[in-house]
Structure 1
């Protein structure tokens, strides 16, 4: 399996069908799904039929996938996934950054480490112009990760929630980082 990116502690690679059990576990955790579905777990069938194909999708304008399975380099434990994918179908100038990690991986700095490494690769190697990220206004942990990764708050907005969840009345926030404002990370890269 080809590795897309390595950090000192993480390995990001394309998803395969073998990742399904890990994804089912991730999407069934109510705390992981709190700001996505209000804590309602996804069924294994939904993960198999909708989530896994989305995570395995390629983006022609990008010439790559947009989601990567993350695992710890030491021990190989599944951590979750990271996203760096084009916002528009026909251009890779602006991409979206995202992540979803197992609860056991929270508070270990993995979200910041993986996000910074993706930003560095995107701006330095892939020629990105801008990276955006969105989360609920009340998701303070995710907002802090985005800020530590170097993104700045662009706006608060209100979308239509088919099923409003706690905190949705406060809206969502969009963060952004341009290549002109990017500073390479000080996180140590993986040893070669």
Structure 2
């Protein structure tokens, strides 16, 4: 998944196997330390790996703080509603189990698919919150949008 240039279109360069394995190890350690993080997504019917979704603490240095919801799917899983289903489950877990007052989501301005999922799961955008990601070099992936969902305001 992380080696697919189309999956990584709004994330940066594809990852090597070692980079991807290191990322999974980091995510597991963070999950164990916090009690939340990224879950693997798989098909209920076949057990096929579909991607990942979860909640993550916003990285330091960003112009906002909190907990971020996200998803990444293998290309064959696009367009089947999996991101929406996973996003809704992540929001429910964050609000109901973790008691979070707000959950954020961000992506590049050009990632219209993820922005559509954010709207479908009840998140809203205030263009005044859009930002330049300081961890990304100058270029088309630096300009980002920020969506928010607040506890009790979901559909």
TM (norm. structure 2) is 0.85
CA shift digits 1:104-144 (9 cap, x unpaired): 00000000010011112221232111100110011100000
- Secondary structure at the aligned position of 1:82 is classed as strand
Distance (Å, rounded) in 2 between the aligned partners of 1:157 and 1:94: 15
Contact 1:66 1:84 in 2 (8 A): yes
Question: How much has 1:160 moved relative to structure 2?
Answer: 3.6
Tell me which residue corresponds to 2:2: 27
Cα RMSD for the two superposed structures: 2.3
Return the match for 1:73 from 44, 47, 51: 44
Tell me which residue corresponds to 1:48: 21
Q: Which has the larger radius of gyration?
A: 1
- Residues 72 and 43 (structure 1), Cα distance of their counterparts in 2 relative to 1, 3 Å cut: same
Contact 1:70 1:78 in 2 (8 A): yes
Contact 2:125 2:146 in 1 (8 A): yes
Contact 2:102 2:148 in 1 (8 A): yes
Contact 2:31 2:38 in 1 (8 A): no
Distance (Å, rounded) in 2 between the aligned partners of 1:144 and 1:45: 32
Gaps of 5+ in 1: 1-25, 184-192
TM (norm. structure 1) is 0.70
Contact 1:161 1:168 in 2 (8 A): no
Question: How much has 1:48 moved relative to structure 2?
Answer: 2.0
Tell me which residue corresponds to 1:99: 71
CA shift digits 1:150-185 (9 cap, x unpaired): 1101321123465445x336x1001101113223xx
- Residues 160 and 86 (structure 1), Cα distance of their counterparts in 2 relative to 1, 3 Å cut: closer
More strand by share: 1
Question: How much has 1:60 moved relative to structure 2?
Answer: 7.3
Question: How much has 1:148 moved relative to structure 2?
Answer: 0.3
Distance (Å, rounded) in 2 between the aligned partners of 1:181 and 1:109: 22
Gaps of 5+ in 2: none
- Secondary structure at the aligned position of 1:144 is classed as helix
